[in-house]
Amino acid sequence: MPGLITGEPYDDLTGAVQQIILSSSESDYLDQLIPLLKNAETQTQVTPLIHALNHVSVDREAEIERICNTNHQEFISSVNQLQSVREGTVSLTSEIMDLSKSIESSTEKLAEQKKALVESRGVRQNIDETTQALKDCLEVLRLANQVYDLLSKKNHYAALRALDELQNVHLREVARYKIAETIERSVPATQRLIAEAVMSDLNTWLYRIRETSQFLGEVAFYHTEMRRNRQKTRLETDEYLGSFQLNSAIELVADEAEEFDVLNNEEVQVDFSPLFECLHIHDNLGQMDKFRADYAATRRTQKDLLLPQTINLLDKEANELSSLLEGIAGFAIVEKATMAKTENFRAQADVDELWDSMCQSAIALISSSLHKVENDEKLLKIKGVIALFIQTMDSWSYPVNSLDGLLLTLFDKYSSLLKRRFSDDFQEIVATDDYMPMPINNSEEYTKVVNVSWYTPPDGHEDPETLTYPCVLPFSQMYPLVCIDIRNFLNQIYLFSDDHFRHTTVIDKTLKVSLDDLLTDKVCRSLVDRLSSQYAGQIVQILTNLDHFEQACKDLESLLVEARSSSSAAGPITLGATAEFREAKKKAEKRLFTLVNSKIDDLIGTAEYNWQATATSEDVEDYMQELTQYLANTMSSVLLGLPEQIKQQIYFEALTHISAGLLALPLDSSQQLISPQSVSQYQKDVEHLVAFVDSLPEKDILSPTLDELRQTTDLMGLAAEGKGEEFFDSSTSGPRFGKVDKIKGAELLEKVQTRTRSTLLSPAPRSPTSDGFDRDHVKKPSVAGFGGLGARFDQFTRRDRS
């Protein structure tokens, strides 16, 4: 038996068997046995294990035999025990064999199950990995589909964010799968779709903005008009606040309580969200420069579409012009708001370029159609629309200098139309006037005339209720009508600057020039042209009107100083028409003098003195009676309406002319001798004239005009009495004959016959001088005729020549 167990495996099994035998308990025995059974080699070598157990058994038997030899009884006992053990061992061996087979069967099943488990675990892991991959890919596909869903719902920014998340996060998780490559290749196309979609929405927004630009401008105009009204109300309540212009700092502060958002109100709302979204998306796409250029090009195109080819300025309410300027205003307001709401998107140069282009186009359109406007009221409406546009855009800090230049052009046109219209009115007024003092029927008419004209009623006529009606005013109807037109002209000229007009000095200058032209050309010269009339009453009325126009011009100069638009201008205003009317008055006076003097000459020309008469009539000559009657009638009727100063001057000139005419009668070169009887008749006529003048209220002023005539007549009377030598007595001649021309007096003394003288020497031939008297060939009266007067006369004439 022992020989069967050899080799190293047996030794190893023997050691194991020894450990099993030495185990303290069955559990330890089994603990030692189980590793051997689990060992793969042990499972295939169960038989050697049995041999090892047999070997051990033999050893134990030998040991037992030895022990038994020493102790037979004990040996027998031990044999019995051993037999018993052997039986147990055999039984155990059988059990072990059964157990080994069972273990072997279980081990095979376990191996198969373990293999199946391993295989199932691998499959499961693959399934899990596949499932996770599918989940990741499905999430990627979901996000990709979500991008398109958001895009279809117009959530462009959300779509861009989802695409960015898909590209930078989720695609990295599935980078090993082909789907990631496919989606990665589609990202740029998707970005282009987002960019195109957001641009499409932006273009829609821009189109709506273009469509609402006019309405936006209309709302802005309305807001500006409301600010105007509030500023006018402030002017009524507070003159200091009202003195500031619209858009000035004070006006803006005063109007803060009425804050109004033109872009967001009950009438119009401009939502910039599409623009902001587009900006953000292109910024994220890195296409900001391209988007900025595309947007600028689109706005330039929209600007061109905003401007029509032509414009009609003749429609009643200037609707086309309003629509054009409202559209420009709305467009420019959106541009300004875009600059304020974005950063580094719209360049100031681009916005200014668009604004300047629109202004120049609008100015060109208006200027090209301006020649068709021939109505000043229509032009004023056009100016009002443009002024409203300027004030609106000035509040948005846009430069309006070019538009101010357009207003200057409009004002030139407006003033020309006004001047033409009022020129026609003045001509009609002057042509249709009756040149008669203006009749007034009641106090209401009187008040109206005084209020509209520059007329100061005389003392006692200030209260219309105290006057007796009907009455007449000194000027004709043309004067108040012209005054009304002048006031209307002033009001309508200044009306141009009510809303907005910065060229105030131009208004003042144009107004002065226009008034001068109208008053000089259409009134003054027209009146001067009518001075050719032979009717003295008409000349008097023209002179009266000229005098009142001169005074009106003076009052008008003061009014222009008070009302002038420019606050920086100083000094008086002088109208050239004032001097024109003054010169015209002189012409009228001269013409009136000519007419009156012509009549006087005609009347004096009818005088038929018989200078050698021997008898004297008791009555005044007819021509003198007619002359004084003519003077009386002229003063009481024809010259009645003239100012007192002019009337006195005309009377003064008339009497001076009469005096000269009457003095020329006896000095006529055809009359060589004058009888005392004719001197007496001549004195009677002159005394009648002097008595008539002395009966006038103005005698103190007018009487001196006849001093020379009266003194000359006295000298002739004195000469007729033979006392002519007193003329050469310096002690008495000065006070009595101081006004008598010395040469003429000497000539008359030579002509007048004395009552004691029977013959006269014939006068020597003489050359006429400028005064009709030759001082070098004065006929010397004889000593026999004049006693010592001849020598004294000769001495006097020599002194006069010296």
The domain ranges of the chain are 2-136, 197-399, 414-437+474-587, 606-787
Lowest-confidence segment of 262-271, 330-339, 381-390, 412-421 by average pLDDT: 262-271
> Is 204's pLDDT higher than 70?
yes
**Mean pLDDT, rounded, for 542-568:** 83
Distance CA 635, CA 633 (A): 5
Distance CA 678, CA 608 (A): 11
> Is 69's pLDDT higher than 90?
no
Q: Do residues 676 and 725 make contact, with C-beta atoms less than 8 angstroms apart?
A: no
The pLDDT tens digits for 431-450 are 899 888 889 888 888 889 98
Beta-carbon count within 10 A of 584 CB? 25
DSSP string computed for 122-141? HHHHHHHHHHHHHHHHHHHH
Residue 266: phi and psi, rounded to 5, are: -65, -25
* Contacts of 370 by beta carbon, 8 Å cutoff, 6+ apart: 313, 409, 410, 413
The pLDDT tens digits for 559-576 are 888 877 655 556 688 888
> HSE (CB half, 13 Å, CA atoms) of 146?
16
Please give the torsion angle defined by the CA atoms of residues 486, 489, 494 and 498, in that order, rounded to the nearest 10 degrees. Answer: 130
> Is 360's pLDDT higher than 80?
yes
Alpha-helical regions (H) of 617-721: 622-633, 644-664, 676-694, 699-702, 707-720
Q: 87 — alpha (psi -120 to 50), left (phi > 0) or beta?
A: alpha
**Mean pLDDT, rounded, for 449-456:** 87
Average pLDDT of the chain is: 78
Q: Do residues 268 and 322 make contact, with C-beta atoms less than 8 angstroms apart?
A: no
Q: What token pair was written down for 384?
A: 């009002």
How high is the pLDDT of residue 488?
A: 92
**Which range in 189-203, 411-425, 774-788 is most confidently predicted, on average pLDDT?**
411-425
Kindly state the percentage of the chain with pLDDT values over 90.
Answer: 7
**Mean pLDDT, rounded, for 263-288:** 82
> Is 635's pLDDT higher than 60?
yes
Q: Do residues 599 and 667 make contact, with C-beta atoms less than 8 angstroms apart?
A: no
The pLDDT tens digits for 113-150 are 888 888 888 888 888 878 877 777 777 677 777 667 76
How high is the pLDDT of residue 361?
A: 92
Q: Higher-confidence residue: 72 or 540?
A: 540
How high is the pLDDT of residue 173?
A: 61
28 Cα distance to chain centroid: 117
The pLDDT tens digits for 41-60 are 555 556 777 777 788 788 88
Q: Do residues 410 and 380 make contact, with C-beta atoms less than 8 angstroms apart?
A: no
Q: Which helix (H) or strand (E) holds 513?
A: helix 504-517
How high is the pLDDT of residue 485?
A: 92
Architecture of the domain spanning 606-787: Up-down Bundle (1.20)
Q: Which amino acid is at 629?
A: Q
**Mean pLDDT, rounded, for 417-428:** 90
Q: Higher-confidence residue: 175 or 423?
A: 423
* Contacts of 119 by beta carbon, 8 Å cutoff, 6+ apart: none
DSSP state of 781: P
Q: Is 264 helix (H, G, I), strand (E, B) or coil?
A: strand
How high is the pLDDT of residue 663?
A: 87
Angle at 87 between CA 83 and CA 93, to 5 degrees: 135
CA torsion through residues 493, 494, 495, 497, sign: positive
